[in-house]
Amino acid sequence: MINAPLDLTATPNSENLALDATKSNAANTIAIFATEELTEEEERDRLHLERQVERAFYEAGKALRQLRDRKLYRNTHKTFEEYCKDRFSYNRSRSYQLIDAAFVVDNLEECPQIVDILPTAEGQVRPLTKLEAEEQVTCWQEAVESAGGKVPSGRIVKSIVDKIRERTKLPNPYRLGEVCQILPKDNPELKGKSGCWGIVTHLGDYSCTITTWDGEYTVKIENLKSLECIDAECEYMQQLCQRLVRLHQVGNLDAAVGWLLAGLGKRQQPFLTPLQEKLLAIVEEECGLI
């Protein structure tokens, strides 16, 4: 039996015609929507909303800074870090990344040459937080140029920051276990920590992690000053720091205990007087620590 040849001129069935019509209509619809013009008011609204999205990280950072500096969390939480974790699911580093980013944007906005090309995401700003204010501006300008006059990616910003830091790199002068005093200078992150001492627990290229009586802080090298303790004094201060940390972690502390902790936390001599030691021991006993 000979099969009939395939008729290439046969009329398509109704199902194929419907499918073709649907594709055609969809294509026309997409084309219409793609070329539809916005009114002047809609253009303004779109630009306004886009800038809100782009500046969301900045507004969040400014808000967090206010919440922290004014201690507006104090009626529900003991610390700012606990508040951010419970309220926004932010860990400590994320909260401070946003706060630091807001400070950088504020600094960049003061430069008239770059006011129209500002960061649109926290990741673009994060590398700049390692730099001084003037360096931040210089680095951002270089990054914008490298990106062809557009907002640069975080990768571009980081590569330029790395080059700047490499040109001015100095060895970290501190050592693990060293006792250092915090010097806030113009660093708002260290507000209220002037004169506090702590123990160096981690060394970075440009910063140290310092453990004080009320927490851990990542502090730039230029915001630290060694108390130049000998090894025996360092060991004593390390033990004292541990005692103060344990006491601070006790819940519902009397205000007088807070005064004692704050006072001992700013003591510049690597020892306690007999009266100070006696007071601390009494408080530790009252709190069930000894």
Q: Are residues 153 and 227 in the same domain?
A: no
DSSP string, 97-117: HHHHHHHHHHHHHT-GGGTTS
Average pLDDT (127-156) is: 90
Q: Are residues 81 and 147 in the same domain?
A: yes
More confident residue, 246 or 33: 246
The answer to whether residues 173 and 221 touch, using CB atoms and an 8 Å cutoff, is: yes
CA 260 from chain centre, in angstroms, equals: 31
At which of 144, 168, 192 does a domain end? 168
Q: Is residue 27 part of a domain?
A: no
Q: Is residue 273 part of a domain?
A: yes
Q: Are residues 103 and 182 in the same domain?
A: no
Question: What percentage of the chain has pLDDT greater than the value 70?
Answer: 86
Q: pLDDT per residue over 221-244, tens digit each?
A: 889 999 999 999 999 999 999 999
At which of 168, 188, 222 does a domain end? 168
Q: Are residues 122 and 219 in the same domain?
A: no
Q: Are residues 144 and 195 in the same domain?
A: no
Question: Exposure string (b/e) for 250-284, b if CB count within 10 Å is 16 or more?
Answer: eeebeeebeebbeebbbbeebebeeeeeebbeebb
Distance of alpha carbon 136 from alpha carbon 104, whole angstroms: 7
Q: Are residues 143 and 215 in the same domain?
A: no
Q: Are residues 147 and 203 in the same domain?
A: no
Give pTM, 2 decimals. 0.52
Average pLDDT (139-157) is: 92
Q: Give me the domain span that covers residue 194.
A: 178-287
Helix (H) or strand (E) holding 85: helix 80-88
At which of 107, 142, 168 does a domain end? 168
Q: Are residues 193 and 145 in the same domain?
A: no
14 band by pLDDT with thresholds 50, 70 and 90: very low
Q: Is residue 18 part of a domain?
A: no
Q: pLDDT per residue over 194-223, tens digit each?
A: 899 999 999 988 889 999 999 999 998 889
- Domains contained in the chain, number: 2
Q: Are residues 127 and 185 in the same domain?
A: no
- pLDDT for res 115: 61
Statement: residue 5 has pLDDT above 60: no
Q: What is the mean pLDDT of the chain?
A: 84
Out of 26-40, 73-87, 129-143, 249-263, least confident range: 26-40
- pLDDT for res 110: 86
- pLDDT for res 264: 95
Statement: residue 7 has pLDDT above 90: no
Distance of alpha carbon 175 from alpha carbon 233, whole angstroms: 14
283 Cβ neighbours under 8 A, 6+ residues apart: 247, 257, 260
Average pLDDT (74-103) is: 90
Q: pLDDT per residue over 16-70, tens digit each?
A: 444 454 444 544 444 444 568 888 888 888 888 877 777 899 999 999 999 998 8
Q: Is residue 1 part of a domain?
A: no
Q: Are residues 196 and 281 in the same domain?
A: yes
On the CB side of 16, CA atoms within 13 Å amount to 4
Sheet holding 179-182: strands in order across? 215-220, 207-212, 197-203, 179-182, 224-226
The residue count of the chain comes to: 290
- pLDDT for res 104: 93
Q: Are residues 66 and 152 in the same domain?
A: yes
Q: Is residue 39 part of a domain?
A: no
Q: Are residues 135 and 57 in the same domain?
A: yes
Q: Is residue 173 part of a domain?
A: no
Q: Is residue 11 part of a domain?
A: no
Q: Is residue 102 part of a domain?
A: yes
